[in-house]
Amino acid sequence: MVVEEFLKEGRIAYFSMEIGIRPEMHTYSGGLGILAGDTLKSAADLRIPMVGITLIHRMGYFKQELDPFGRQIEHPDPWDIEKYLSKLDVKVEVMIEGKPVYVTAWLYVIESITGGKVPVLFLDTDIPENTSEDRTITHFLYGGDLQYRLKQEIILGIGGVRILDNLGFQINKYHMNEGHSSFLTLELLNKFKKPIEEVWSEDLVWDIDKVKDVCVFTTHTPVEAGHDRFPYELVQKMLGEPVPLWLIKKLAGDGMLNMTLLGFNLSEFINGVSKKHEEVSEKMFPGYEIHAITNGVHTYTWVSESFKKLYSKYHFGWANEPEIFVRAWRIPSEEVWNAHVEAKKHLIDYVNRITAANLNYDTFTIGFARRVTPYKRADLLFLDPDRLAMIGEGRIQIIYAGKAHPQDEGGKKIIQKIFEVKERMKDRLKIVYIPNYDMEMAMKLVAGVDIWLNNPLKPYEASGTSGMKAAHNGVPNLSVLDGWWIEGWIEGYTGWAIGGMDETSDTRRDVEDIYYKLSNEILPLFYENRSNWINIMKSAIAMNAYYFNTHRMIRLYVTEAYIR
């Protein structure tokens, strides 16, 4: 069997509801999944023994169509599983609603040019042994209702541990990437149960410390809705009592089963994804010791073709040692600019091919692309469209992309608002919204725009990673001081801040700041002082890309969380 080579040494099992490895595999929705994929890619490069576990998501997240009014239409987004994965000869049983559901797994192997390899297991219930309803459990990422989500999380957590055991993996640590996989702790409680004859009360068979010893939990968002909660009635109906209810309630909260609390209470090491997010999480969950390991991106994945050539010319070995970027200032400015022009041309040609936007090569281009949800404030730039046109007419063009979750009405309205302004301002500003944002489009965007804009409502951006991708391509950030940018921001060197360091956002002030900096600092620099503009591009590489990568990040997980 193909997995055999991975069974010889102990591994860290990395559980994530989504893992985004390549654009053709529709197993991710956004930041969380891309981070998971980038993490496992760095592990492969650095030969860190890990194994990824996720669901197969046969129908993807969704394919986004936008009508002329910016109304989002969602389509299933299936992908060619057999082309990328190999089916494993494995089958385990998980009880849901008192009936067995059978789970199998498919294998993808991340192979690094260093020779390192990391296996990723994709759990699948779409097999003939299951009822037609159960076969759909692993179809839609973040689809369906609460009950559907609960079933998926049972398969991921409990099914995942059983699949690993059944295949013969030796697991040293279980890393829960967000609370979706927290049920794995219940499976471990059962696995590590003390023999009844060794304890003096039945309640004491549960070895919480032993489970804690092998568990690591990463929380990813200060947004309440990002923390799954299930009513105990539903849990009992679907899951039964793999461990007694009193114990689950003790670990996961009294009123509802809180997946984050369950993970927290059974993990020796808990972390947030930036220093600021650590503070915010400690306030959200008083009494827990929460650490900070700031996110990164996989350098080789997120550097465009033209910058790959450039880096290879001046900084041999950069892909497996991104620290080398600390010397990026030595790259001749002209060559940095040429590499950017190539990436920008690639993007503009692409946008002009698929839309009627008719963007220009020479115009200052602002990029904004990410999940569309109210706290990200995608329409903030348009608080005063006339003012924006006054500053930017003939001088700026703006590219948007992003999907709103099918149930996020607020997010969907924001897309419509952008379409409205786009139409209203069409004679003065070139604005384009590209449908169906994915990894491939993200690559073109982060490398091809001149500035990367991020203006979330504080303190909701736990980290953010798209700005790190931009920095890897010499694209400076213009961003609210939240998440990673607090750590990466050096005003006028790596980019610009929107607003100050206050705990919460002042919308009016944020937008004033954007307009002010665009018209007084950023545009004059771009158009009239190109050599200083290129210096900022080089600083973004030297001071941001050298640090905000998953190579640095995974090493910190190893020394802070996995080996301790």
The verdict on 370 binding ligand PLP (CB under 6 A) reads: yes
Of residues 106 through 135, those in contact with ligand PLP by CB under 6 A are: none
Contacts of 153 (CB under 8 A, 6+ apart): 17, 180, 181, 182, 183, 228, 259
Q: Which of 206, 269, 437, 562 binds ligand PLP (CB under 6 A)?
A: 437
Residue 342 within binding range of ligand PLP, rule CB under 6 A? no
Check: CB of residue 207 under 8 Å from CB of residue 189. Answer: yes
Contact call for residue 260 and ligand PLP (CB under 6 A) = no
Q: What are the residues facing 107 on neighbouring strands? A: 86, 121
Interacting stretch for ligand PLP, rule CB under 6 A, among 54-62, 142-150, 270-278, 458-466?
458-466
Could you tell me the two tokens for 40? 């496992």
Q: How far is the CB of 31 from ligand PLP (least distance, A)?
A: 3
- Binding part of the chain for ligand PLP, among 346-354, 384-392, 431-439, 554-562 by CB under 6 A, reads 431-439
Query: Of 169, 101, 174, 92, nearest to 134 (Cα)?
Result: 101
User: Interface with ligand PLP includes 439 (CB under 6 A)?
Assistant: yes
What's the CA gap between 314 and 20, in Å, rounded?
A: 30
Helix (H, G, I), strand (E, B) or coil at 344: helix
Number of residues that bind ligand PLP (CB under 6 A): 13
Element (H, E) at 334: helix 333-354
Q: Does 464 bind ligand PLP (CB under 6 A)?
A: yes
Our CB check for ligand PLP shows the closer of 31 and 119 to be 31
Whether the CB-CB separation of 241 and 248 falls below 8 Å is answered with yes
Of 7-15, 66-74, 129-137, 465-473, which part binds ligand PLP (CB under 6 A)?
465-473
Q: Which is nearer to ligand PLP, 30 or 411 (CB)?
A: 30
The reply on whether position 442 binds ligand PLP by CB under 6 A is yes
**299 near ligand PLP, rule: CB under 6 A:** no
CB of 438 to ligand PLP, least distance (A): 5
Which residue in this structure is represented by tokens 């059944």? 166
Can you spell out the DSSP letters for 493-534? TTEEEES-S-SS--HHHHHHHHHHHIIIIIHHHHHH-HHHHH
- Dist CA 532 CA 444 (whole Å): 24
Least spacing, CB of residue 487 vs ligand PLP, in Å: 14
Among 124, 153, 342, 438, binds ligand PLP (CB under 6 A): 438
CB of 297 to ligand PLP, least distance (A): 7
* Residue 465 near ligand PLP by CB under 6 A: yes
Does 365 interact with ligand PLP (rule: CB under 6 A)?
no
Sign of CA dihedral 51, 175, 211, 226: negative
Piece in contact with ligand PLP (CB under 6 A), picked from 262-270, 436-444, 508-516, 538-546: 436-444
409: number of Cβ within 10 Å: 11
Which residues form the interface with ligand PLP (CB under 6 A)? 30-31, 34, 370-371, 437-439, 442, 464-466, 469
